[in-house]
Amino acid sequence: MPEVLLSEDDGAVRVLRLNRPEKLNALNTALTRALHDALLEADRDPGVHALVLAGSGRGFCAGADLSEFGHLTPDNPAAVLERAELTSRTQSLLRELSTPVVSVVRGAAVGGGAGLAIGADMTVVATDVRFGYPELKHSIVPAVVMTGLQRQLGPKLAFELISLGRMLTAREMLELGLANRVAGPGDLLDEGLRIARRWAESSPLAMAATKTLFHRVAELPYAEAMRAGRDVNVIMRGFRERR
């Protein structure tokens, strides 16, 4: 049986590739757990300074694998809770890692796949991307991905996407700030690697502090955010000597 997640190192850059192309890389429990564990493993590896998240085949990720929903019912509460916690942890990890992550996204990026796409620190999309949250069409609530979408888009447009199932193109994603770059499908991975290699040139300590502080100040009132920045400013003086 093929591995559901492929891992390959390019110097100090690790490429993680969702590998269920026949299912458009839909997130079943095995793939979700493999991705969760691989992200944590990469973050602990001192030789990995940046991550690229990609999908195999013609799509990035078609969201949750609906074929598993047959046993994820109120009659099996332990399995429902376990899967919900695993999904939530995995979606949150991209932001919580000290290692920066760039997602390279082509074809379908919907539901949980859309959450992974924009949950990365930077996102490169292909010209053929189809991005959105169609869960309500399947009587499913886009619960776990809602937080990240609201914070990146604001309430009005975020609600439009999740309530109407509106799909975004590459150009729309770029204009709305959900994507950093647009590339042709054949150039997508190379563009992601260019970003990741630039990150990998930086001090890992400085990069980790930058990423942590970036997300921390977003949640703080202005005065507290400035104090947090001041504290890191003091600490960073030792980074050059410790590199």
What b/e string do you get for 63-91 counting C-beta neighbours within 10 Å, with b at 16 or more? bbbeebeeebeeeeeeeeeebeebbebbb
Say what the pLDDT of residue 111 is: 95
Task: Tell me the catalytic residues.
Answer: 135
- Whole-number pLDDT of residue 179: 98
**Model confidence at 158: pLDDT above 70:** yes
The residues spanned by each domain of the chain are 5-200, 204-242
Q: 72 CB contacts (<8 Å, ≥6 apart)? A: 79, 80, 83
Cα separation, 116 vs 16, whole angstroms: 12
Q: Are 42 and 109 in contact (CB under 8 A)?
A: no
More reliable by pLDDT, 231 or 152: 152
| φ, ψ at 144 (rounded to 5°) | -70, -35
Q: Report the candidate in 34, 167, 32 with the shortest Cα–Cα distance to residue 107.
A: 167
Query: Under CATH, to which class is 5-200 assigned?
Result: alpha beta
- Global pTM value: 0.91
HSE value, Cβ hemisphere, 13 Å, CA-based, for 3: 11
How far apart are the C-alpha atoms of 236 and 152, rounded to whole Å?
28
Q: What is the pLDDT of residue 243?
A: 47
Instruction: Name residue, tokens 């499913």.
Output: 140
Judge whether residue 241 has pLDDT over 60: no
What mean pLDDT value characterizes the chain? 91
User: What's the confidence (pLDDT) of residue 222?
Assistant: 80
> Of the candidates 57, 144, 37, which has an alpha carbon nearest to the alpha carbon of residue 105?
57
Render pLDDT for 116-146 as a digit per residue (tens, 0 to 9).
999 999 999 999 999 999 999 888 888 889 9
Both tokens of 48, joined, read 């990995």
Distance CA 162, CA 75 (A): 27
How does pLDDT run across 55-114, given as a tens digit for each residue?
Answer: 999 999 999 998 876 565 566 666 677 888 999 999 999 999 999 999 999 999 999 999
